[in-house]
Amino acid sequence: MRVLLLGANGYLGRYVADRLLADPAVQLTALGRGDDADVRFDLASGSPGALTRFLNAVHPGVVINCAGATRGGARDLTRHNTVAVATVCESLRRSGCGARLVQLGCSSEYGPSQPGSSTAEDAVPRPGGPYGVSKLAATELVLGSGLDAIVLRVFSPVGPGTPAGSPLGRLADAMRRAMQSGDSELKLSGLGVQRDFVDVRDVARAVHAASLSAAQGAVNIGTGRAVRLRDAASLLARVAGFGGALHELDDPHLGTPPAYPYPDGCGSWQQADVRTARDRLGWRPRIGLEESLADIWMEAACRI
C-alpha cells in the first residue's frame, strides 16, 4: 500500500510515520516543509495543480494529513489548517489516483461541553477560539468533498514528544526546576481543568487503522475518560519522585478564579465518546496515562 504522509515531522506525524514504517506492507512517502521530507512542499502556499501532479506521479492509495498549526493568529491558523486542507482536497479531486484521505482533526472543534458528559460525533460543534474554528472548517471541507475520507478528532494527545509549551509539558518542566533547586513546594494554576488524555502512540495506531478501514465521517479518538489536571500533576509527581507539596494558585477555597491553561477554547471539561472508534475501526487505547507521563518526565528531566 502506497501512503503519502503530510506533516511527518510534527508531534503526531512523527509517531504516525513510525507506525506506518513498522508495517512491511506500507510504502511510505513523506511530504512536508522540512529538509528531511522526501518531497518539500508547503500546503499553505503551494498550488493544487502542483500537488495534483505529484499525486499522479506517486499514485498513493492513502493520503494522511497530520500537517497544521496549533498556535498563531487567526490568519495563520486559517492558512495552515483550512487553506492547506482545501488544497489537499482539490488536488485529490483533480488527481486520478482515487486515494483515501485520513485527516487529523481535533476535539477543539466541539468547543465547551457539559461537565460529566461524553461528546459524540453528532454533537453540534461550537468551537471556542480561532484554532477550533480553523480545524472545524477543515473537517467540513473534507466531509463535503465527496472523497473517500475520514476525519479523526483527536482529543488531548500526550506522551513522548509532548511540546514543552503544552500544559503537561510546562508542568513537567516546572517540576524539574523545583527538584533541581530543592524546592519543597510547587505552585501551579489551572489544575481544575479536565481533559481526555490519549497517548500519541495510540493516536498513531488509530490513524493506521483508519487508513486500512472503509469507515467515513468523523471519528473521536480518546480514552472515554476525563482526568483532572490536578490528578495528572499528582501522578506526574509520583512518577518523578517529587516529594514536595503541590499548591494551587486558583484554589476555590481561597476565592481566586480558576485559570484554564488549555488554549483550546473548551473550558473546564472534555471527554470523548469513543464507541464509534471501537465499532468502526476496531480501535481501543492501550497506553495508560501513567506511562504517558513517565515518558514526558523522562524527556523533561533530560533538559538542561
What mean pLDDT do residues 247-255 have? 63
pTM of the model: 0.94
State residue 34 phi and psi, 5-degree precision: -80, 160
Q: Are 2 and 25 in contact (CB under 8 A)?
A: no
pLDDT digits over 162-172, tens only? 998 888 999 99
As given in the structure block, the three cell numbers for residue 221 are: 479518538
pLDDT digits over 162-217, tens only? 998 888 999 999 999 999 999 989 988 888 999 999 999 999 999 999 999 999 99
The CA distance from 127 to 150, in Å, is 20
Q: What is the pLDDT of residue 35?
A: 78
pLDDT digits over 14-31, tens only? 999 999 999 999 999 999
**pLDDT, averaged across the chain:** 93
State residue 109 phi and psi, 5-degree precision: -65, -30
Q: What is the pLDDT of residue 262?
A: 64
